[in-house]
């Protein structure tokens, strides 16, 4: 039986050296570094697993071990176990670490074949590092092919989840965390926006992972059952899920008819695709969060056509559907005067969470090719490759201006519409009020879900007013809290006790922030083993080495 080792790049991340830039460790936290990158103490935190590695591992006819964030020594220990294949997944930022990991593999597991995957493979020069194979795009099918099984044997979905909590609560194990399940529907995107690295990486097409809505529902239901109902909220990875009408409808019907578990899901979608749906129907069938790429108020991308953006966000919120709105600074038409207006527009949409990033000319994209032709790429250092990079030369901005503007936009949003966690709370409460008397029972059940969430967050807002950004936000939070208690009942003794505890944690963390340097705890090694997945032998030709 062949042995496969799949791994992320090695830690540490919080040490500035020839592999890391200062602040890289923040990027591991998907929420705190991007979607709730706000000042203050209310920012959310979530570390997302290396989904791609687990999706591959669960579907190979080999004993497969997945390592996440190993140290160099831990990686070497695994190499000494003699794997036949070593798969290294990296973002462009991890390019330097890939070079070292290949060298380590050659020394400690000289018989192993090295496969490099992930966005780092968008760099043509990855070949120069001397891997045996380069898996660009769909890694599951690539590895199946490499191991001699037909890539189209139906896929199984591994159980994956991520905890969400307040960033300042991360180190307090006794405080509740919300766990969401992670489901991959497919990869790639046919919208082909010129800046989109995902779209370019998968060849401007959608590649299916789970074949249909039944498979999606079963993946969710299985995880919910195994967690004794604790995990019933899922994030589905698919660049624009709402393009797949049959898949979503099939999954939605099963969710609506499941009276045992109130399954719900969040996803990525576009104005264009959402405009073709009856949103009430979607909500009744579990739709509860959506990430929409707003990009700019002038909407230069086709995916933004359809319903009016502001009207769409408003309708979604009225149904209790929380939103992520993302925006790009540094588009060709942008001037320094326009960026605060863009941030103001984003605030007017009242997204529950938001992302503001610089325009990144990611390797492999049409945008990158165009800007290279125009001589508009600054000297490239792979370590600079992240959402806030300043590698674009823009006639209206000096180096550093765009990065500063993006970070300022997060502050402006916080001042204008308050912390993300409050916007979630407020939106769920709106959904509760609008759906609790709906004629359709599935919508009333959704209202019950919102009521439970609102109730769960209520203690957070009872004694933390002094940490809110300004008086206007304090007034809004007070009003919402007052309305919630009028609708759902006064706080219980337990909730009052929790509020008291939160007050002390906020005070302690506020003091630490003002007097201590930030302490970063490196992620620990995570190891997960997967048994071989039986599959028929393939007659497909082998893939030539790189």
Partner 1 sequence: MDTVNVEETVLKHFAAIVHVAPKKLDTGANLAAEYGVDSLKALKLISEIEVEFDIDIEEDEARCLKSLDDVVELIKAKLGLTGTAVRPLAS
Q: How far, in Å, CA of 302 to CA of 295, rounded?
A: 11
Which is nearer to partner 1, 127 or 466 (by Cβ)?
Answer: 127
- CB-based burial of residue 308 (10 Å sphere; 0-12 exposed, 13-18 middle, 19+ buried)? exposed
Q: How far is the CB of 95 from partner 1 (least distance, A)?
A: 8
Question: 416-430: string of b/e by CB count within 10 Å (b at 16+)?
Answer: bbbbbbbbbbbbbbb
Q: How far, in Å, CA of 275 to CA of 457, rounded?
A: 31
Q: How far is the CB of 120 from partner 1 (least distance, A)?
A: 13
Q: How far is the CB of 212 from partner 1 (least distance, A)?
A: 44
Residues 6+ apart with CB under 8 A from 441: none
Which is nearer to partner 1, 125 or 341 (by Cβ)?
Answer: 125
Q: How far is the CB of 17 from partner 1 (least distance, A)?
A: 7
Q: Is 382 left (phi over 0), alpha (psi -120 to 50) or beta?
A: alpha
Which is nearer to partner 1, 107 or 302 (by Cβ)?
Answer: 107
Q: How many CB atoms lie within 10 A of CB 377?
A: 14
Q: How far is the CB of 129 from partner 1 (least distance, A)?
A: 6
Which is nearer to partner 1, 128 or 173 (by Cβ)?
Answer: 128
Q: How far, in Å, CA of 23 to CA of 402, rounded?
A: 18
Q: How far is the CB of 192 from partner 1 (least distance, A)?
A: 29
Q: How far is the CB of 104 from partner 1 (least distance, A)?
A: 5
What are the φ and ψ backbone dihedral angles of 533, each rounded to 5 degrees?
A: -95, 120
- Of the CA atoms within 13 Å of residue 96, those in its CB half-sphere come to 13
Which is nearer to partner 1, 99 or 546 (by Cβ)?
Answer: 99
Which is nearer to partner 1, 99 or 488 (by Cβ)?
Answer: 99
Which is nearer to partner 1, 102 or 241 (by Cβ)?
Answer: 102
Q: Is 228 left (phi over 0), alpha (psi -120 to 50) or beta?
A: left
Site for partner 1 in 43-102 (CB under 8 A): 95-96, 99-100, 102
Which is nearer to partner 1, 122 or 243 (by Cβ)?
Answer: 122
The pairing of strands 526-530 and 63-68 is antiparallel
Q: How far, in Å, CA of 241 to CA of 383, rounded?
A: 31
Strand, coil or helix: 519: coil
Q: How far is the CB of 377 from partner 1 (least distance, A)?
A: 15
Which is nearer to partner 1, 109 or 354 (by Cβ)?
Answer: 109
Q: How far, in Å, CA of 117 to CA of 133, rounded?
A: 9
Site for partner 1 in 94-153 (CB under 8 A): 95-96, 99-100, 102-104, 106-107, 125, 128-130
Of 285, 291, 283, 215, the closest CA to residue 247 belongs to: 215
Q: How far is the CB of 381 from partner 1 (least distance, A)?
A: 9
Q: How far is the CB of 51 from partner 1 (least distance, A)?
A: 27
Which is nearer to partner 1, 383 or 453 (by Cβ)?
Answer: 383
CA distances from 91 to 64, 117, 122, 390 (A): 21, 9, 9, 17
Residues in the interface with partner 1 (CB under 8 A) total: 15
Instruction: Report the DSSP beta bridge partners of residue 115.
Output: 87, 133
CA distances from 299 to 267, 328, 408, 419, 499 (A): 21, 11, 21, 26, 42
> Is residue 229 within the footprint of partner 1 (CB under 8 A)?
no
Q: How far, in Å, CA of 97 to CA of 382, rounded?
A: 11
Q: How far is the CB of 105 from partner 1 (least distance, A)?
A: 9
Q: How far, in Å, CA of 93 to CA of 13, rounded?
A: 11
- Cα distance from N-terminal residue to C-terminal residue, the chain: 24
Which is nearer to partner 1, 104 or 175 (by Cβ)?
Answer: 104
- CB-based burial of residue 374 (10 Å sphere; 0-12 exposed, 13-18 middle, 19+ buried)? exposed
Q: How far is the CB of 380 from partner 1 (least distance, A)?
A: 9
Of 365, 358, 390, 385, the closest CA to residue 94 belongs to: 385
Q: How far is the CB of 402 from partner 1 (least distance, A)?
A: 24
The enclosing H or E element of 474 equals: helix 471-488
Pick the binder of partner 1 from 1, 18, 110, 311 (CB under 8 A): 18
Which is nearer to partner 1, 110 or 154 (by Cβ)?
Answer: 110
Which is nearer to partner 1, 125 or 508 (by Cβ)?
Answer: 125
Q: Are 391 and 380 in contact (CB under 8 A)?
A: yes
Residues that bind partner 1 (CB under 8 A): 17-18, 95-96, 99-100, 102-104, 106-107, 125, 128-130
């Amino acid at each position: 039986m062949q042995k496969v080792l799949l791994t992320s790049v090695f830690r540490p991340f919080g040490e500035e050296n020839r592999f890391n830039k200062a602040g890289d460790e923040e990027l591991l936290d998907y929420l705190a570094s991007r979607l709730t990158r706000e000042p203050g103490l209310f920012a959310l935190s979530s570390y997302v697993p290396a989904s791609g590695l687990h999706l591959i591992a669960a579907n190979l006819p080999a004993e497969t071990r997945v390592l996440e964030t190993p140290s160099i020594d831990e990686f070497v220990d695994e190499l000494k176990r003699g794997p036949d294949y070593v798969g290294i997944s990296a973002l462009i930022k991890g390019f330097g670490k890939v070079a070292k990991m290949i060298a380590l593999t050659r020394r400690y597991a000289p018989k192993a074949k090295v496969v490099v995957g992930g966005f780092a493979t968008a760099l043509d020069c990855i070949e120069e590092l001397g891997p045996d194979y380069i898996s660009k795009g769909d890694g599951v099918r690539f590895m199946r092919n490499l191991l001699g099984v037909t890539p189209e044997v139906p896929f199984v979905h591994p159980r994956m989840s991520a905890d969400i909590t307040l960033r300042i609560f991360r180190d307090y194990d006794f405080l509740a965390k919300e766990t969401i399940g992670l489901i991959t529907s497919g990869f790639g995107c046919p919208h082909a926006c010129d800046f989109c690295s995902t779209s370019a990486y998968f060849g401007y097409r959608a590649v299916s992972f789970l074949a249909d809505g039944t498979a999606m529902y079963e993946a969710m239901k299985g995880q919910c059952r195994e967690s004794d109902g604790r995990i019933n909220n899922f994030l589905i990875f698919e660049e624009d899920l709402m393009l797949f009408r049959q898949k979503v409808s099939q999954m939605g019907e099963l969710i609506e008819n499941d009276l045992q578990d109130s399954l719900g899901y969040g996803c990525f979608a576009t104005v264009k695709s959402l405009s073709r749906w009856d949103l009430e129907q979607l909500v009744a069938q579990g739709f509860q969060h959506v990430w929409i790429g707003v990009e700019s108020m002038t909407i230069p991308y086709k995916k933004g056509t359809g319903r009016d953006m502001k009207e769409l966000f408003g309708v979604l919120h009225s149904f209790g559907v929380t939103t992520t709105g993302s925006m790009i600074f540094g588009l060709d038409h942008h001037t320094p005067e326009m960026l605060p207006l863009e941030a103001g527009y984003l605030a007017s949409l009242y997204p529950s969470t938001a992302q503001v990033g610089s325009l990144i000319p990611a390797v492999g994209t049409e945008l990158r090719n165009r800007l290279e032709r125009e001589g508009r790429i600054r000297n490239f250092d792979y370590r600079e490759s992240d959402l806030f990079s300043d590698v674009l030369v823009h006639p209206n901005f000096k180096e550093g201006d765009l990065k500063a503007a993006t970070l300022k936009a997060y502050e402006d949003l916080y001042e204008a519409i308050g912390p993300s966690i409050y916007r979630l709370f407020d939106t769920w409460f709106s959904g509760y009020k609008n759906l609790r008397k709906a004629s359709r029972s599935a919508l009333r059940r959704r209202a019950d879900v919102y009521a439970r969430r609102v109730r769960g967050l209520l203690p957070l807002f009872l004694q933390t007013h002094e940490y809110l950004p300004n008086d206007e936000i304090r007034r809004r939070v007070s009003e919402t809290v007052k309305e919630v208690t009028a609708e759902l009942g006064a706080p219980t003794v337990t909730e009052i006790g929790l509020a008291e505890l939160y007050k002390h944690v906020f005070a302690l963390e506020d003091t630490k922030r003002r007097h201590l340097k930030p302490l970063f705890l490196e992620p620990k090694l995570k190891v997960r083993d997967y048994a071989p997945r039986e599959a028929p032998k393939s007659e497909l030709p082998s893939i030539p080495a790189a």
